[in-house]
Every structure is written in C-alpha cells, then in structure tokens.
Amino acid sequence: MEKSKFVLAGVWLLCFGLSLSSQDLGFIVEDKDLHLYLLDLKEARPPHTKKNRLVFTFQGSPRTRSVGIAFSFERFRTVHLMARNPSRIFFYVLDPPEDRFTYRLVVDGVWMADPSNPLVVEDEDGVRLSLVSLTPLPAEEAGPVPLEGEVAFLFRYTPGRQVFLVGEFCNWDPFLLPMEEVEPGLYRKTLSLPAGTYAYYFLADGKRIADPENPRRVYLDAIPVSLVEVPPRISARLQD
C-alpha cells in the first residue's frame, strides 16, 4: 500500500512534564484516499470517521503556530502534535482504542475543549472536556427523519442544556422551537412541514451548530447550515 507522509515542521515546547509521542515527529497516513481527504479539508468538523480512522480537526489562523491533542485514555499525559494542511486546518488521525473517551486540544500552549465538537462534559473540577462516543445513533435516530407529513430532528449534545431548532420553517427565529431532551444528551423536535427543501441548524449554548448527522450543507452568510428535503405526502402523490 502506498504510504504518504506528512511532516509538521517547527518546535513543540514540552511543559508541565508532558511527553511528545514519537509518531508526531512524522505523521504517516497509509491510505491514499485518506491522504487526499486530509489535504483537501477546508473547515474544521466534529470528530468523524474516514476509512475506519477517527479524524480530529481544528481551524487555525495565520497566527496559530502549533496545535496538539491529548486523550483521557492516556490520562492527558501525552500531547500529540496535529499536522496542518494548506488551508490551515490542523488534523490528527487516530485508531480509537475505546468507544467512548474525552480529549482536549492544546493551541499554542493553551488547553481547551474542541470548538468544533458540540459534545462537552465537565470533570469533577469543572474542566470542560470534549467527548467522543462511537456508539452510532440507531438508523431511526440519525436525523433528520422524514415521516409521513412530519420531520423528526434529532441532536446529540451535552445533557441538561437548552437546545433550539432554527430554520427557514420558523423564519430563523432562534427561540421559537425548543427541543425536548428525550434521553440524556439526545434532543428531539418533530415538525409538520409541507414538501420542500429547508435549511436549518441547532442553537445550543449560544452557538450555531450544523447537524453533525446530516452531510447535506450549504453556507448562508459564511455560516454552515444543514439541508433537509421533505417529500410530498403519499396521499398527495396518489392524487397527482
């Protein structure tokens, strides 16, 4: 198999007794398609799988010098450097050892939760940790789900928060459609909508979040929003 190698130039200062993983000295991606995918990334996304690998991303700025990532399964003792593509997207590819774990980013020495990941938990000290849960949503819960005359929108997020559904169907009113937390961390809103295509996003903790479970997206005023297509009702199709 063809090997592709990314080398991240520069110096990482090791502080607070942290170690640097040897694999960070040369970032190796063995799959050609994955290599090209990483090079072509134009925006940061929540953690997602590609070619059976887990991809983490961070949107850098011209002033961002280095970005690292640390994991709970290593007790946050190792900071792995993230490579950078031509669009200033920093990325890291992982073979996940666990189905559920937390992580933090280290951006120019500053520890933080992943701004692209809506799943956040807090430890006993109130420190915000980004969460990865690889247990997939059941097919009927991977929203949005068009039903007969209705659409069920579902969203995984931090439990116990206020989450709103915002879209063209409510004239972009940010607080008109609160979502119900049907189980810890799973929010749902069902709407009756006429046939058509609608743009929407979720509003949580003051952040606009495109639907992580929906690959259909467009940009409105440089902000990513998701698209859902509502088919005509069966009765209407029978009359045509």
Instruction: Work out the average pLDDT over 156-175.
Output: 91
| Residue 116 pLDDT > 70 | yes
Q: Could you give the domains of the chain?
A: 4-133 (2.60.40.10), 139-239 (2.60.40.10)
| Residue 18 pLDDT > 80 | no
> Which pLDDT value is given to residue 64?
93
Across 213-234, b (16+ Cβ under 10 Å) vs e yields: beeeeeeeeeeebbbbebeeee
| Residue 146 pLDDT > 70 | no
Q: At 142, is the pLDDT very low, low, confident or very high (cuts 50, 70, 90)?
A: low
| Residue 104 pLDDT > 90 | yes
Instruction: Provide the token pair at 60.
Output: 């850098």
Residue 78 near residue 41, CB atoms below 8 Å = no
| Residue 200 pLDDT > 90 | yes
Summarised one tens digit per residue, pLDDT across range 25-43 is 335 566 788 888 888 889 8
> Which pLDDT value is given to residue 55?
93
> Which pLDDT value is given to residue 233?
61
Q: Which of 167, 159, 152 lies closest to 202 in space, CA to CA? A: 167
Q: Which of 98, 36, 106 lies closest to 70 in space, CA to CA? A: 106
> Which pLDDT value is given to residue 194?
86
* Average pLDDT in the chain: 79
Instruction: Work out the average pLDDT over 211-232.
Output: 82
Alpha-carbon gap, residue 145 to 58, rounded angstroms: 29
Instruction: Work out the average pLDDT over 120-132.
Output: 84
180 or 11: which leads in pLDDT: 180
User: For the whole prediction, is pTM greater than 0.75?
Assistant: no
Q: At 107, is the pLDDT very low, low, confident or very high (cuts 50, 70, 90)?
A: very high
Instruction: Write down the residue that tokens 């170690």 correspond to.
Output: 19
> Which pLDDT value is given to residue 21?
41
Q: Lowest mean pLDDT: which of 97-111, 119-133, 198-212?
A: 119-133
Q: Using a pLDDT cut of 90, give the percent of the chain over it.
A: 32
> Which pLDDT value is given to residue 136?
57
51 or 21: which leads in pLDDT: 51
Q: Lowest mean pLDDT: which of 46-60, 86-100, 132-146, 189-203?
A: 132-146
